[in-house]
Amino acid sequence: MRIGIFLVAAGFPGRPQGQVLRDCVEAIEVAEEAGFDDAWIAEHHFMSYGVCPSAATLAAVALGRTRTIGVGTAVSVLSTQHPVALAEQAAMLHHLSGGRFTLGVGRGGPWVDLEVFGTGLARFERGFAESLDLLCRALGRRTVSAEGEFFRFREVAMVPAASMRPVVACTSPETARLAAGRGLPMLLGMHMDDEGKAAMLAGYDAARPPAPPHPPEADAGVGAVRHVAAVVGHVADSTRAAVREVRAAMPRWLEPGLAGYVPVDGRRRPVRDVGEYVDFLTGVHPVGDAGHCVETIRRTREVTGLEHLILMVEGAGEHARTLENIRRLGAEVLPGLDG
């Protein structure tokens, strides 16, 4: 299996935001030393849930501080950015890192971000497919132009050009079908259990056409679709201790963090029971002693067929414990997944 770490840049109370960002870079350095395959960085705006507003920028810093580990965005929000500008950034990171960068993109939500950045609610509600197609063209060709509803411009050169394929965050069957139609890998979130992930993967397979509809140069060197799924990963001396630690810490982050999702219009914001959500996360994800974590990851592979998981490692809320968690996962859990 391919195992990475997932960093939300979680804004736990009392932690200076600049320090959180610096700590994320250190966590990626430690993950490289611990033997993880990659590290993925989340992007959020105007909220304490995640204090990194540019996953690509933080990825650039992390790539410059490491040598072998892959680094990806999970995700760059496409509804608030110009697809060609994002493609330019991704191409730079691809070339500067020797191919270690992966661009993950998502639709985002109907949040105030759309107002602040001026892209508007329409880009979220009906513009994601057009944005994604333009992004794929910009990452698969030497020139790009657009004649759509949201983007219209003459042909321009992509400088630097790069042959890359984004990963698409999918939280609904609709988005899964959209990714499948383009032959793009999915990124599945922590909010789904194994059965939910398996259902999304089955829907993807059913919707995927026999051959990708986009130009063959965009598929150079890709091979089979490799989906990615995020899970909480937290190891301790016993499963009871690991669950207790996460249950004590995560609500302090989630309660104020989730409240930061402010709708751009008058719609009601979905409200999640934080305690129930944490119980769900600790119940279905690798949170426990090393043996429990290994067995949980193996079950996910058996039920879903997934071969690439990224472990959210910040569940304890303290930087020193996050680094310890990464090192212990690398030393005690990763070896148990070999073979």
Token pair listed for 338 = 């070999």
Residues 171, 172, 178: CA angle, nearest 5 degrees = 105
Is there a contact between 162 and 144 (Cβ–Cβ < 8 Å)? no
For the chain, which residues make up each domain, given as ranges? 2-337
Query: C-alpha 114: how far from its chain's center?
Result: 20
Question: How far apart are alpha carbons 109 and 113 in whole angstroms?
Answer: 9
Is there a contact between 249 and 317 (Cβ–Cβ < 8 Å)? yes
pTM for this entry:
0.95
Query: In the predicted model, what is the mean pLDDT of the chain?
Result: 95
One-letter-per-residue 3-state SS of 184-220: CCEEECCCCCHHHHHHHHHHHHHHCCCCCCCCHHHHC
Q: Identify the band that residue 270 occupies on the pLDDT scale cut at 50, 70 and 90.
A: confident
Question: How far apart are alpha carbons 324 and 283 in whole angstroms?
Answer: 22
Q: Identify the band that residue 229 occupies on the pLDDT scale cut at 50, 70 and 90.
A: very high
Encoded amino acid at 323, one letter: L
pLDDT over 50 (residue 232):
yes
Question: How far apart are alpha carbons 218 and 307 in whole angstroms?
Answer: 23
Choices 3.40.50.1100, 3.40.50.1820, 3.90.180.10, 3.20.20.30: CATH for 2-337: 3.20.20.30
Predicted confidence (pLDDT) per residue in 48-59, tens digit: 999 999 999 999
Predicted confidence (pLDDT) per residue in 132-184, tens digit: 999 999 999 999 999 999 999 999 999 999 999 999 999 999 999 999 999 99
The whole-number average pLDDT for the span 301-321 is 98
Q: Identify the band that residue 220 occupies on the pLDDT scale cut at 50, 70 and 90.
A: very low
Query: Cβ atoms within 10 A of the Cβ of 231, count?
Result: 26
Q: Identify the band that residue 217 occupies on the pLDDT scale cut at 50, 70 and 90.
A: very low
Paired sense of beta strands 143-147 and 152-157, if any: antiparallel
Q: How many CA atoms lie within 13 A of 235 on its CB side?
A: 22
Query: Cβ atoms within 10 A of the Cβ of 122, count?
Result: 12
Encoded amino acid at 273, one letter: D
The DSSP call for residue 312 is E
